[in-house]
């Protein structure tokens, strides 16, 4: 893969950790620009320590092409099954976004109320893993669970995962990362708004639609990327 793209993915791992969106167990992937049936994802280490050599290439069955002893994350099926059914998706983030979890366990709908997270639109689906498998450890560790999650996601940009976190997609990496950061922020804002009042003005459908092209996180991305890669370099 192109070195620049590898660096993008290294940066994405570190940005998400820096912003508290992923802990040691989140992950982020990018579809291969050379082959839409392939994607790149770091091996099973804490994202804030990822370097270029930690990144593996996978096919859509989530098989690593050249693992050379590097351990894959068990939840890689989140990525593979979404890429399989969503050709528009170029990047996928799976996180344990702390302020999103309370929504996932109460079924209270997240809705767009902050323009930077307008992609939430009129709500995000919530993946109840129990419907696909009873008595699970909540992890999406099989192709079947990946399929079920992708089905819950449908055509939406993101889905909550009950008691676990969320999955966020983007038509490019910076969108998947930016959306993850602002999803966390929007969740906090919505909790606070709900404590203040029952009467909340959410973005309406036309506003959501108008915001979509603008909210590309293009101004934030170079700053985020540069800081992350500077840190990666120091840690080599």
| Shortest distance in whole angstroms from residue 13 CB to a copy of itself | 12
144 binds a copy of itself (CB under 8 A): no
CB atoms within 10 A of CB 216: 15
Partners of 95 in the β-ladder:
166
Per CB under 8 A, the list member of 4, 135, 155, 236 interacting with a copy of itself is: 135
* Residues of this chain, 200-229, that bind a copy of itself according to CB under 8 A: 200-204, 206-207, 209-211, 214-215, 217, 219-220, 222-224
Between 36 and 106, CB nearer to a copy of itself: 106
12 binds a copy of itself (CB under 8 A): no
Residue 75 a catalytic site member:
yes
Between 33 and 144, CB nearer to a copy of itself: 144
Per CB under 8 A, the list member of 55, 78, 101, 158 interacting with a copy of itself is: 101
The C-alpha atoms of residue 1 and residue 32 are separated, in whole angstroms, by 8
Per CB under 8 A, the list member of 38, 52, 70, 115 interacting with a copy of itself is: 115
From the candidates 18, 48, 57, 75, give the one annotated as an active-site residue: 75
191 binds a copy of itself (CB under 8 A): yes
125 binds a copy of itself (CB under 8 A): no
Active site residues: 75
Q: Which residues bind a copy of itself (CB under 8 A)?
A: 23-25, 44-46, 48-49, 96, 98-99, 101-103, 105-108, 113-116, 118, 128, 130, 134-139, 162-164, 185, 188-189, 191-197, 199-204, 206-207, 209-211, 214-215, 217, 219-220, 222-224
């Amino acid at each position: 893969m192109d070195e620049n793209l590898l660096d993008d993915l290294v940066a994405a791992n570190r940005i998400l950790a820096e912003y508290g969106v992923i802990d040691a167990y989140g992950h982020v992937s990018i579809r291969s620009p050379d082959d839409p049936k392939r994607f790149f994802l770091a091996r099973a280490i804490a994202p804030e320590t990822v370097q270029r050599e930690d990144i593996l290439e996978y096919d859509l069955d989530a098989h690593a092409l050249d693992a050379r002893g590097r351990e894959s994350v068990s939840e890689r099926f989140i990525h593979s099954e979404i890429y399989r059914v969503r050709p528009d998706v170029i990047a996928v983030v799976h996180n344990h976004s702390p302020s999103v979890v309370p929504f996932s366990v109460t079924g209270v709908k997240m809705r767009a109320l902050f323009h930077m997270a307008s992609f939430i639109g009129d709500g995000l689906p919530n993946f109840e893993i129990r419907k696909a498998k009873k008595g699970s450890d909540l992890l999406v560790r099989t192709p079947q669970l990946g399929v079920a999650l992708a089905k819950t996601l449908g055509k939406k940009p993101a889905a909550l995962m009950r008691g676990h976190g969320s999955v966020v997609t983007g038509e490019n990496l910076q969108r998947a990362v930016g959306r993850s950061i602002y999803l966390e922020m929007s969740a906090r804002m919505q909790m606070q708004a709900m404590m203040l009042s029952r009467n909340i003005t959410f973005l309406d459908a036309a506003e959501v639609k108008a915001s979509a092209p603008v909210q590309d996180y293009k101004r934030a991305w170079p700053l985020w990327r540069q800081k992350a890669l500077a840190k990666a370099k120091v840690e080599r």
